[in-house]
C-alpha cells in the first residue's frame, strides 16, 4: 500500500507534469472512493491529452447550467468528462457576497463529481441566478489531484511555508465535513507571513483554519486551539475569466491566487500595468495629500502606521508615471503629496559639517530620536522628478537646496555620509549605518545638480560614492556585497555626468550581486514555478522590484558606455515578469472583497496579499524601466534615465507628448470600471468649468 508521503509526492508530480492542463488524478485519500469501479474509466492523462482547459470549460459549463439555468455544454464534451476517473470537485462562486458560496461533490467519474458539486452550489445560490448578477459572478473550479492524511499539531504551522496557497484542508467528523481550499488560505489571511507573529514566527495559524472550517460547517467537532486530524489537499484550480453578459468565459488556470501562465512583458503590456498601478496609487491619496500606507484586502481594512520616507519615494514613482503618460490628474495627486510632506512634515534649521552646510531642511519623524539621511535624499528625488516632469524648477527649488545642504552637512572628512543625524544641530549623531540611505542621498544630490549647478552637490555626491566603493565595499566580491538599488541608480547618474569608469564598473559589480541572488531560486523554481525571477527563500515583490530598478539603471550606464545590454536586459525581464504576478489585475482580482480598493496595486508577493504604498512605488518604477528599455531597443524614446534628465535640464529635450487621450482612456477602462473616476479627475473637471 502506498504511504501517505508517497501519495502526496505522486500527486504533486502529476500536478507539476500538467502545468498547462488541469492534471486530474484519482484522489487517493478520504475524499475519494475506492474499489474496482475505477477500472472502467479512462486514465486522467488519456482524457486530458489535449490539455486541461477544455475539461475545465466543460465542468464549469455544467455548473453554469445548474446555477444560471443556461444550456449544458455539448454532449461529446460531457461524455468525455464521464470517462475521466472520479475526483472530488469544488465549485466556489465569487463576486456576490461575502461570504463566497462553495459546494463540493464526489462521484465515480469526474462528470458525476461535477454534477453533484454543481447541484449543491445551485441549491446554495437558489438557482437560477438573476441575470443582473451574472457579470459579477465568477465560478472557480478546484479538482483534487492529491491528498494525504495529516495532523495539525502546533498553534502555528511553519514547516511548509512554500506550500501556502497550494495546500488545503478537508475535515470529516461523522456526517459533517468542512474544507479550506488551497487558495483560501491566502484569500482568508489564514497565515502569518510578513513580520511573523508576536514571537517573530511565520506560518498557518491553526485557530484561523479551525474558524474557516467551522464557517463551512458550524457543527464540526473541532475544539478551538487543539490539534486535529485532517486530509491535506492539492487541487488543480481554474477560474472563469472576467467578462460581461451570459456568454461562457474561457477558464484560466490558477497557481495559488494568480494566473499559472505568466504574461510576456511586452512594452504594451508594461504600459497597461503601469497605468493600473498609477491609478491605484493616485486613488489612495487623500485630498490633503496623505498616501494610504497599508491596505489589507482580505479584511478590506487599512493597516496601521505611516512612513514619511516611503511617502517621498512613492511620490517620486507617481511623478515618473505622470512624465510617461502626461495624464494631468496624476500630477495633481503628486503635487498634493509634495505639499503634504513639505508643509506638514519638514523642519528647518542651520547645520554645518566638514564639507559645508547652511540653512537646511529635513524630514521630521517626531517619534524618532534621530534624523534619517534617507529623508532628505528621497525628498530631493521627489522634487527633482517634479522638476524633470515640468521641465524647470518652477516651484520648490529653494526647498530642494535646503534638503541638499542637510546632506552636505552630514559628510565626514572621509567622504562617508552620516546615516542618523541628531535632531539637535549641535547634538551627537548615531553611529548606526544604513545600507540604503547614502545611495538615496547621493542620487538626490546628483539629480539636483542637473537643475542647480552648485558644485557642492556634485562634489559631495562623488566623495560619498567613492567612500562606499573604496571603503565600505572595498575588496569585497559579489558574494559579499548587499543589493543596493539606490546606489545602482545613483552610480548610473554619476557615470553619465562624470564619465568616471569607477562608477560604471561598480554598477556592473552590483549587477553580479543581483544575478547571483536570482540564480539561488532557480532550483526552487523547478518545484514552485512562481519563484522564478524572485529573490529570497520566500520571494516577495518588492525585493524583485528594487532589483529591477537597479538593473534598469545599470542598463542606462551600459547604454552610455556603448556595451551590450543583452545579459542585463534578460535578467531585468525575468525579474519584472515575476513582479507582474503580484499585481491585482482583472484576472487575479476575483477573490477581493472590495476590488475598488485594491485593483491595480501590487501586493507583497506570492504569499503576501497586503498592499503598502512602497510596494506599488518600486514595482511601478521597475515596470516603467523595463518598458523604457524595450522601447529603446525598438528605436523609441520615452522619459527616464540620466540622459533624459540631462536633456531636460539643458533644454535639449522637450516635454514628452505622453499617451494620447484615446489610448489613455482604453488603458484606464478597467480601473474606471472598478473604482470610478478619481477625485483628481473630478477636481480637474471642476477647475475647467
What confidence score (pLDDT) does residue 69 get? 85
The mean per-residue pLDDT over the stretch 154-169 comes to: 92
d(CA 261, CA 581): 10
3-class DSSP state for residue 248?
Answer: coil
CA–CA gap between residue 190 and residue 213 (Å, rounded):
11
Extended beta strands in 364-513, E state: 370-372, 420-422
pLDDT in tens, 362-406: 999 988 899 999 999 999 999 999 999 999 999 999 999 999 999
Q: Please tell me the distance from the alpha carbon of residue 295 to that of residue 315, in angstroms, as a whole number.
A: 18
State yes or no: pLDDT of 22 exceeds 70. Answer: no
pLDDT for 200 beyond 90: no
Query: First and final CA of the chain: distance in angstroms?
Result: 78
* CA neighbor of 244 nearest in space, from 130, 136, 94: 136
Query: Which phi and psi (to 5°) does residue 166 adopt?
Result: -110, -20
pLDDT for residue 18 is more than 60: no
And the C-alpha cell for 41? 474509466
Share of the chain above pLDDT 70, in %: 88
Residues in the chain: 689
Q: Return the pLDDT at 38.
A: 33
- Give residue-wise pLDDT tens across range 284-311: 999 999 999 999 999 999 999 999 999 9
What lies within 8 Å, CB to CB, of 496 at 6+ separation is 556, 557, 560, 642, 643, 646
| CB distance 214 to 222 below 8 Å | yes
Rounded Cα–Cα distance for residues 405 and 384 (Å): 15
Q: Which of 500, 647, 492 lies closest to 557 in space, CA to CA?
A: 492
Query: What are the cell numbers at 239?
Result: 477560474
Kindly report, residue by residue over 82-97, the tens digit of the pLDDT: 988 888 999 999 987 6
* Average pLDDT of the chain to the nearest whole number: 89
Is it true that the peptide bond before 21 is cis, omega within 30 degrees of 0? no
Place 591 in a pLDDT band, splitting at 50, 70 and 90: very high
pLDDT at 490: 98
Taking each helix axis from N to C end, the angle separating 437-451 and 397-409, rounded to the nearest 10 degrees, works out to: 140
Q: Report the run of H or E that residue 565 belongs to, with start and end.
A: none
For 192, the 3-state DSSP assignment is: strand
Contacts 24+ apart (CB under 8 A), 681-685: 681/329, 683/329, 683/332, 684/328, 684/329, 684/332
Give start and end residues of each alpha helix (H) in 85-244. 110-125, 182-187, 206-216
What digits encode the pLDDT tens for the residues 248-261? Answer: 688 999 999 999 99
pLDDT category, 160, cuts 50, 70, 90? confident
The confidence score (pLDDT) of residue 460 equals 98
Predicted TM-score (pTM) of this structure? 0.91
Maximum alpha-carbon separation in the chain: 88
The C-alpha angle 33, 39, 40, rounded to 5 degrees, equals: 110
Beta bridge partners of 371: 421
Amino acid at each position: 500500500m502506498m504511504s501517505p508521503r508517497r501519495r502526496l509526492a505522486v500527486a504533486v508530480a502529476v500536478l507539476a507534469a500538467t502545468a498547462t492542463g488541469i492534471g486530474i488524478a484519482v484522489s487517493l485519500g478520504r475524499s475519494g472512493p475506492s474499489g474496482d469501479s475505477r477500472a472502467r474509466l479512462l486514465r486522467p492523462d488519456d482524457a486530458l491529452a489535449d490539455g486541461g482547459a477544455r475539461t475545465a470549460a466543460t465542468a464549469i459549463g455544467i455548473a453554469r447550467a445548474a446555477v444560471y439555468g443556461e444550456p449544458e455544454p455539448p454532449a461529446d464534451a460531457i461524455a468525455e468528462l464521464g470517462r475521466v476517473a472520479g475526483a472530488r470537485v469544488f465549485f466556489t462562486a465569487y463576486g456576490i457576497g461575502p461570504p463566497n458560496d462553495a459546494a463540493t461533490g464526489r462521484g465515480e467519474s469526474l462528470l458525476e463529481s461535477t454534477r453533484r458539486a454543481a447541484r449543491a452550489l445551485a441549491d446554495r445560490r437558489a438557482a437560477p441566478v438573476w441575470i443582473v448578477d451574472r457579470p459579477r459572478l465568477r465560478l472557480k473550479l478546484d479538482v483534487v489531484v492529491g491528498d494525504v492524511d495529516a495532523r495539525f499539531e502546533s498553534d502555528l504551522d511553519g514547516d511548509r511555508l512554500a506550500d501556502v496557497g497550494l495546500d488545503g484542508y478537508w475535515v470529516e467528523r461523522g456526517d459533517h465535513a468542512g474544507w479550506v481550499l488551497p487558495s483560501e488560505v491566502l484569500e482568508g489571511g489564514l497565515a502569518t507571513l510578513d513580520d511573523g507573529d508576536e514571537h517573530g514566527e511565520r506560518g498557518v495559524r491553526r485557530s484561523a483554519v479551525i474558524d474557516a472550517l467551522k464557517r463551512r460547517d458550524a457543527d464540526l467537532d473541532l475544539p478551538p486551539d487543539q490539534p486535529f486530524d485532517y486530509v491535506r489537499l492539492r487541487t488543480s484550480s481554474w477560474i472563469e475569466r472576467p467578462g460581461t453578459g451570459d456568454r461562457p468565459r474561457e477558464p484560466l488556470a490558477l497557481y495559488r491566487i494568480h494566473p499559472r501562465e505568466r504574461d510576456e512583458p511586452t512594452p504594451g503590456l508594461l504600459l497597461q500595468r503601469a497605468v493600473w498601478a498609477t491609478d491605484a496609487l493616485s486613488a489612495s491619496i487623500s485630498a490633503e495629500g496623505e498616501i494610504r500606507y497599508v491596505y489589507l484586502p482580505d479584511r478590506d481594512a487599512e493597516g496601521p502606521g505611516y512612513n514619511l520616507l516611503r511617502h517621498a519615494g512613492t511620490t517620486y514613482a507617481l511623478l515618473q508615471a505622470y512624465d510617461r503618460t502626461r495624464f494631468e490628474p496624476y500630477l495633481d495627486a503628486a503635487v498634493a503629496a509634495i505639499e503634504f510632506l513639505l508643509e506638514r512634515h519638514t523642519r528647518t534649521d542651520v547645520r554645518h559639517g566638514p564639507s559645508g552646510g547652511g540653512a537646511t531642511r529635513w524630514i521630521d519623524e517626531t517619534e524618532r530620536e534621530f534624523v534619517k539621511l534617507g529623508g532628505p535624499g528621497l525628498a530631493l528625488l521627489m522634487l527633482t522628478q517634479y522638476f524633470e516632469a515640468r521641465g524647470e524648477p518652477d516651484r520648490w527649488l529653494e526647498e530642494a537646496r535646503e534638503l541638499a545642504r542637510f546632506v552636505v552637512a552630514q559628510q565626514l572628512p572621509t567622504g562617508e555620509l552620516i546615516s542618523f543625524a541628531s535632531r539637535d544641530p549641535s547634538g551627537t549623531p548615531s553611529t548606526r549605518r544604513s545600507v540604503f540611505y547614502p545611495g538615496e542621498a547621493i542620487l538626490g544630490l546628483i539629480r539636483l545638480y542637473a537643475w542647480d549647478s552648485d558644485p557642492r552637490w556634485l562634489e559631495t555626491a562623488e566623495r560619498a560614492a567613492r567612500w562606499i566603493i573604496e571603503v565600505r565595499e572595498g575588496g569585497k566580491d559579489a558574494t559579499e556585497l548587499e543589493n543596493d538599488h539606490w546606489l545602482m541608480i545613483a552610480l548610473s547618474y554619476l557615470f553619465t555626468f562624470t564619465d568616471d569608469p569607477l562608477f560604471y564598473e561598480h554598477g556592473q559589480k552590483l549587477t553580479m550581486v543581483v544575478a547571483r541572488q536570482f540564480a539561488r531560486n532557480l532550483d526552487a523554481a523547478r518545484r514552485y514555478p512562481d519563484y522564478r525571477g524572485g529573490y529570497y527563500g520566500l520571494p516577495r515583490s518588492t525585493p524583485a522590484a528594487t532589483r529591477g530598478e537597479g538593473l534598469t539603471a545599470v542598463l542606462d550606464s551600459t547604454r552610455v558606455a556603448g556595451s551590450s545590454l543583452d545579459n542585463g536586459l534578460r535578467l531585468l525581464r525575468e525579474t519584472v515578469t515575476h513582479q507582474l504576478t503580484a499585481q491585482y489585475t482583472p484576472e487575479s482580482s476575483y477573490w477581493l472583497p472590495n476590488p475598488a480598493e485594491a485593483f491595480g496595486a501590487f501586493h507583497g508577493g506570492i504569499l503576501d496579499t497586503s498592499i503598502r504604498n512602497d510596494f506599488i512605488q518600486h514595482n511601478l518604477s521597475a515596470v516603467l524601466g523595463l518598458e523604457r528599455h524595450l522601447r529603446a531597443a525598438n528605436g523609441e524614446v520615452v522619459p527616464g534615465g540620466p540622459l533624459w534628465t540631462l536633456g531636460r535640464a539643458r533644454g535639449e529635450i522637450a516635454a514628452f507628448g505622453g499617451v494620447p487621450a484615446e489610448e489613455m482612456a482604453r488603458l484606464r477602462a478597467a480601473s474606471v470600471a472598478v473604482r470610478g473616476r478619481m477625485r483628481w479627475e473630478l477636481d480637474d473637471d471642476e477647475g475647467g468649468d
